[in-house]
Amino acid sequence: MAERVHPADSPPQSGQFSGNFSSGEFPRKPAPPPATYVIQVPKDQIYRVPPPENAHRLQLLSRKKPNRSRCRCCFCYFLAAIVILVVLAGISFAVLYVVFRPEAPKYSVEGFSVSGINLTSPSPISPRFNVTVRSRNGNGKLGIYYEKGSSVDVFYGDVALCNGALPVFYQPANNVTLVKTALTGSRIQLTSGARKEMRNELSKKTMPFKLKIKAPVKIKVGSVKTWTVTVKVNCDVTVDKLTAPSRIVSRKCSHDVDLW
């Protein structure tokens, strides 16, 4: 009789296990192929210890991350501090405005005497002006300190004729003060056209001048002084003649305040 050849059991496919789970048998690990080696590495070394060629890179990355996060935190704190300061400043200004109701002082020219301008000669002139400015502080609780460094200038058109400064003084609340100042100019050369124009204005008794005042002041709030702010006053003044005493024909003043 011919011998029967039984086919060998085929190896288990992927996802199948040879073994009887019900009997407590577990599948065996497949044997490594011939001429191979199996190296077992501890788990701690696999997950915690990088290869030598990557150790330096890991060290740099571990240093950079805390620095970046620390810088971000500092930047966020800085922005938050600025926002808080701005909000507190706004609240403070609002409270001061409600409590003190500040208003800008008002100015007008009360006296404007001119001398030293000779229009009949082509020689340089040395004009002199005596100017009286009326300052009214209508604030009920705020005083004004007029500091050093002020300037007062008189112009005819675009020609600067003389300059000077205001005196240093303190103006209390609800006060009107007349400030007198003497202005001088030296060897101002007028063009023939400017002389002719001034003679025409003088014949009509309407000689126009521009008065510009710039004064650094500090506001007194209770017993506290504020920072220095700059008051600017621009006045158009027309007089009837160029000799003392002269009479003011018209005057108009405007003012502005630079808080910073």
| Collapsed DSSP state (helix, strand, coil) of residue 76 | helix
Contact of 230 with 256, CB cutoff 8 Å: no
Closest Cα to residue 131, out of 186, 207, 211?
211
CA distance 38 to 30: 12
Return the DSSP state at 228. E
Using alpha carbons only, how large is the chain's radius of gyration in Å?
Answer: 46
Reported pTM: 0.65
Per-residue pLDDT in tens (0 to 9) along the chain, 260 residues: 444 444 444 455 544 445 554 555 555 666 666 666 666 656 555 555 556 666 667 666 666 555 566 677 787 888 888 888 888 877 766 665 555 567 889 999 999 999 999 998 999 999 999 999 999 999 988 999 999 999 999 999 999 999 999 999 999 999 999 999 999 999 999 999 999 999 999 999 999 999 999 999 999 988 889 999 999 999 999 999 998 888 999 999 999 988 87
In the chain, what are the domain boundaries? 45-100, 106-258
Question: CA angle, corner 154, sides to 186 and 240, nearest 5?
Answer: 105
Q: What is the CATH number of domain 106-258?
A: 2.60.40
